[in-house]
Structure 1
């Protein structure tokens, strides 16, 4: 007969059995709830814990040159990110932070501090935290192989300049880490270039790696549009090489070159470069070819004579007595009587000069005399019609409109100073486009950097042209071309000559302007804005023109900023003209423009260039060249 258990022990056994019975019932009920009553709910919850939604970034459109050569493209760049919600418990997050810190150098401190920083991301309440943007592929592969739960590798497009980060840098512009345009054409055409973001579902395995899912893409991403530029990549590269060489040799602070097609306004090359503190010449990240405003000096004399000749006041052969000094007494805005003097470089008293002589040898006083004949109202009208004092409609970010003061604010001496290119500020793109108008039979065509936009379906959207306008007659434009060829053949532009071709160009050397904080203080407490704090003068040397003069295919502007003032080598005739000639020669060969013999020029004399184009049609006896 079995021995009876004591009452207390028997009671304890029943309690234990009761407890386990309750547990069994609860577990059974839970299993019944999971597998029968709320099966769909818990299946969905489990899926949600291992399925995440990710953005699909639409690839940014490419930027190509006029020949279809790629300039800026996008390619997939890995990034490393954390999903804190799937990274495990606190202990696991600490361990993963330490492992990642051993493989990554994120903030340049020791591993302990790195791990602390990474842990803050693991402890974030969000489901997405960037760990590394623009990770190199090797690092991404290492992190992927670690198979850390909650740590993932994604890919996003990164901008890449095919010909290096220097070619047309300021023109193309830049994007930020999110691939959003921040400057240049990248910013101007952001809405066209950016892709449309899509959405996909990604399923994660237990170790955090991705696995295929049937849900797939919820919304397709689409690529941004491509930009087709007017720029010629080959010519652009040559321009930058030669410009850099000139900046180095002249010990200048920088330089700008623009080459344009006069009849279309299309910009074939646009380069802006600076000398760095290390003595290396680099392309600028901004684009002063469009954003700079500066005093151009004598290159503006062509505009003054364009007005004089177009108004019938004189022609290329007209002669007039010209003094070597012009004196003007005038009352300033404060009522004080002032005396202003303008001189030519050499003293000659009074001398009879032809218009051609004045422009060939860049006479200040001769230009002022004829500018006074033109008058301030008409000079102002021609300058505005040539595009000065206003933006060019290029639409480029930060474009300068220059400074051309309203006519009603002109002082008594402004007519004299502005007629010779002082008292006015212009942008490089304004200046070369004005010369293009002279080259284009007197018709102004707005500059253009983009020919068309191509969307992801290959449909082209051509950039609409700004309506052109006539500024001077075709006859006047030919006379100005004749005067400008004399500048190169016999005057200050001789170093811009190209064998076998007629070049029309004008030189100009201006004093650089300094604000009061950086200018020289005179004994009377006033400041001379044309001297630096040490009392030294600095120069901007410009040559602008077009070629071949008989049948212009190109306009060009060359600016050398602040060349070393050594033995008068800072003059545009010495530092800018040779570069103009070199680039003119190279571009003519590159585009296979045949030389024009003197015999052919003689045969073409007496024929007129049609205003509709550069075809020669026999109509009058005016000299073409």
Structure 2
């Protein structure tokens, strides 16, 4: 009997302890995790008539030291509203209000005289001090609306990555994520408000315990891999030293960790300000062509062909071939960029001099089946899995052809198309030991209760031997040290692996004679790379080749990253 009483006491104490723990957890959730929301809600109750409270999760950039920086948040937006049916002396009211804020007095008197109207908005975007002064007047018929709005502290910074929040087009004008992370993670970011009780105690005692512990709707905040200083630097270089300098149609860039797929910066120019997206006349700038654009990439594809040949064992770095300057394949003449032959040259010269005949030679050694197998394994015809909306898929249909010419042109980046994000993913496999990684922008989702959800890579696979990665990295380093712009880009204490590309743009099924895409990719340090960079430039004026338009911007970015992240020299 004594043991049973002790057991009952233990059971009761344990139950009380568990209930207390639940209450403390819930109070902490309300006061800390949801404190800002309830603060805004309380302010709304004090200040506002006809409140439609808007709330949404925060998106953070992440500095190199791990400190979070707000990229998208919610701010209060106060408006002055009057009820003309309750304002007895509009002239006197106008005089009092004009001492606090500015507005058109005549228009105010006119609107305040509408005796059949109970709602007239007089001024927007009031400061909190102005709100307090207006409320202190104690005038009848004067109220303050607080309609919280989405705010992007960085303005244009990473605009295409972030997207924006706008109306979904329905009759209720529901605010939802449009473009970028706002759209892709809308379910995590949006706040329905349905579970918010009007009082703290009702929230604690009336809400079922199950809904506290096992809430199906995981409302969270996003922590991205975007480093704001790096993002800002990339955008400045793209806008000032690429887009404007060459009067181009567009310019883009991606800076990624080739080993993890973390994207430190991603930008396209021209851009826009998500705080004022409704004023943007050219709505095409809202999309992200680095993810949803599909292009023939030109000669930056050549390292993939060389790597496939090395990996399959059909060529080695010492293999030579006779370059006559052109080949006749399926009755079509295919030439080097200058039409000139170099005679008997080693494999290295294919990359050094960007020889189309050289990659066709490697294709001959591989054969159609092996070539197709490698290029599909590089993921060029599939989604990368990046956490951004509207990702397009590359077009490798020519690799299903029975004609040799389709493979021959594909070997130097013509006749097949791919997205820039799929391109940098494939090229990263040359840098990281031969693994296809998953590019991503969000590193974790943080929840008000429970542990954060960390990014978990998916669909990563080995596509090249480690030895192949080392050899192609060595060859691409020689390109920078000795060939690219005559070896003038070589850095004394850092190794850099890189390649340029210039491709004709396809319009209406035919190659344009005037429209070109310039591309440049590189990674560094070559044998233990911390960064891979891809730059694109559409229709530059005044320069025909990417080596002349994008080499300098690439080196600016390279030197900045090495210095900013304090990367130790590797040679």
TM-score calculated relative to the size of structure 1: 0.69
2:143 match: 152
2:507 match: 514
Call closer, same or farther: CA 1:575–1:79 in 2, change over 3 Å: same
2:437 match: 445
2:570 match: 596
Correspondences of 1:129-140 after superposition (within 5 Å): 137=128
Match of 1:293, SS state, is coil
Q: What is the deviation of 1:110? A: 8.4
Is the contact made by 2:501 and 2:546 (CA closer than 8 Å) also made in structure 1?
A: yes
| 2:563 matches 1:562 | no
Is the contact made by 2:56 and 2:190 (CA closer than 8 Å) also made in structure 1?
A: yes
Residues 171-223 of structure 1 deviation map (CA, whole Å, 9 limit, x = unaligned): 1221227653212111111221223526677xxxxxxxxxxxxx788669999
Q: Find the aligned partners of 2:506 and 2:365 in 1 and give their Cα distance.
A: 29
2:545 match: 571
Match of 1:422, SS state, is coil
Structure 1 unmatched ranges of 5 or more: 1-50, 124-128, 202-214, 277-282, 330-338, 517-527, 532-536, 598-625
Q: Please say which structure displays the higher CA radius of gyration.
A: 1
Correspondences of 1:179-328 after superposition (within 5 Å): 180-197=176-193, 224-247=219-242, 248-274=244-270, 284-328=285-329
Q: Find the aligned partners of 1:130 and 1:373 in 2 and give their Cα distance.
A: 75
Q: What is the deviation of 1:482? A: 1.6
Call closer, same or farther: CA 1:401–1:81 in 2, change over 3 Å: farther
Match of 1:402, SS state, is coil
Is the contact made by 2:57 and 2:73 (CA closer than 8 Å) also made in structure 1?
A: yes
Call closer, same or farther: CA 1:161–1:370 in 2, change over 3 Å: same
2:418 match: 426
Alignment RMSD (CA, Å): 3.8
Call closer, same or farther: CA 1:563–1:454 in 2, change over 3 Å: same
Q: What is the deviation of 1:466? A: 1.0
Call closer, same or farther: CA 1:158–1:347 in 2, change over 3 Å: closer
Q: What is the deviation of 1:142? A: 7.3
2:69 match: 70
Q: Find the aligned partners of 2:461 and 2:113 in 1 and give their Cα distance.
A: 62
Q: Find the aligned partners of 1:406 and 1:340 in 2 and give their Cα distance.
A: 16
Q: Find the aligned partners of 1:286 and 1:120 in 2 and give their Cα distance.
A: 45
| 2:535 matches 1:553 | no
Call closer, same or farther: CA 1:505–1:563 in 2, change over 3 Å: same
Call closer, same or farther: CA 1:349–1:505 in 2, change over 3 Å: closer
| 2:343 matches 1:351 | yes
Is the contact made by 2:435 and 2:463 (CA closer than 8 Å) also made in structure 1?
A: yes
Q: Find the aligned partners of 1:354 and 1:512 in 2 and give their Cα distance.
A: 30
Call closer, same or farther: CA 1:453–1:80 in 2, change over 3 Å: same
Q: Find the aligned partners of 2:118 and 2:201 in 1 and give their Cα distance.
A: 27
Q: Find the aligned partners of 1:543 and 1:491 in 2 and give their Cα distance.
A: 15
Match of 2:236, SS state, is helix
Call closer, same or farther: CA 1:152–1:113 in 2, change over 3 Å: closer
2:7 match: none
Residues 250-289 of structure 1 deviation map (CA, whole Å, 9 limit, x = unaligned): 332331111111111111111212289xxxxxx9543222
Call closer, same or farther: CA 1:112–1:263 in 2, change over 3 Å: closer
Match of 2:464, SS state, is coil
1:383 match: 375
Aligned length: 488
Match of 1:176, SS state, is strand
Q: What is the deviation of 1:81? A: 8.0
Q: What is the deviation of 1:458? A: 6.6
TM-score calculated relative to the size of structure 2: 0.75
Correspondences of 1:9-158 after superposition (within 5 Å): 57-58=54-55, 60-66=57-63, 67-80=66-79, 92=86, 111=107, 115=111, 122=118, 137=128, 144=135, 149=140, 152-158=143-149
Match of 1:499, SS state, is coil
Larger RCO, structure (CA 8 Å, separation 6 or more): 2
Q: Find the aligned partners of 1:63 and 1:169 in 2 and give their Cα distance.
A: 13
Match of 2:394, SS state, is coil
Call closer, same or farther: CA 1:266–1:590 in 2, change over 3 Å: same
